[in-house]
Amino acid sequence: MKKLCGYVSALKPMHKRAGGRQWHKLVMASAGLLVAAVFVILGATRVRAKTPAQSSKPAAESTANAQNGRKLFVKYGCYECHGYEAQGSNATGPRLGPDPLPLEALKAYVRKPAGEMPPYTEKVVSDQDLADIHAFLESLPQPKPAKDIPLLK
């Protein structure tokens, strides 16, 4: 926040030279770009349109076991940040299900994560275990629409 304030105070002399209207436009444009960047970054992690090629499961996934995946999700501590139903939280970790990343993307992220998630090498979590966890994430039901929840009406 201090850094942002520093940028704003560095731009203040422009306000005096350019007049209040130009200053207001500059601040609003900067804020708009910042908000747009945040939405793009967050949206890129959530929006995943499935193509017909992605909807057919590869042979490696056909042997995946969702019940075992649920047990592994707890065993490896995934629930600690993502919740028992992979619902996620703004404070701890993102939602993982019911529409998870494709299996290969999940493997890549688990092996070399960004942010605060620790990496899980193949020695710790095998590819088959990740396939089972992915099957568990895919097996999660879609949440009810808000219109079907009495308290939200």
DSSP codes of every residue in 80-112: HHH-TTS--BTTTB----SSPPPHHHHHHHHHS
State the pLDDT at residue 138: 95
- Say which CATH number the domain at 76 has: 1.10.760.10
- 38 shares its domain with 71: no
- 21 shares its domain with 79: no
- 125 shares its domain with 70: yes
Higher pLDDT, 149 or 33: 149
Whether residue 127 lies inside any domain: the answer is yes
Per-state percent for the chain, helix, strand, coil, to nearest 5: 60, 0, 35
- 79 shares its domain with 28: no
Whether residue 100 lies inside any domain: the answer is yes
- Full residue range of the structural domain in which residue 66 is found: 59-139
Token pair listed for 29: 């444009």
Q: What is the pTM of this model?
A: 0.58
- 28 shares its domain with 91: no
**Average pLDDT value for the chain:** 75
The number of distinct structural domains making up the chain is: 2
Question: What share of the chain has pLDDT > 90, as a percent?
Answer: 50
Contact 79, 85 (CB under 8 A): no
Q: Which of the residue ranges 41-50, 59-68, 74-83, 144-153 has the most confident prediction, judged by mean pLDDT?
A: 74-83
- 24 shares its domain with 91: no
State the pLDDT at residue 71: 97
State the pLDDT at residue 50: 46
- 122 shares its domain with 71: yes
- 127 shares its domain with 85: yes
Whether residue 97 lies inside any domain: the answer is yes
Four-residue CA torsion sign, 14, 16, 18, 21: positive
For residue 68, give Cα distances in angstroms to 10, 71, 98: 57, 5, 17
Contact 56, 125 (CB under 8 A): no
Give 88-124 pLDDT, tens digit per residue. Answer: 999 999 999 999 999 999 999 999 998 889 999 999 9
- 64 shares its domain with 127: yes
User: Residue 93 forms beta bridges with which residues?
Assistant: 89
- 131 shares its domain with 67: yes
Give 34-57 pLDDT, tens digit per residue. Answer: 544 444 444 444 444 444 444 444
Q: Which of 56-60, 129-133, 147-151 has the lowest mean pLDDT?
A: 56-60
State the pLDDT at residue 25: 55
State the pLDDT at residue 21: 57
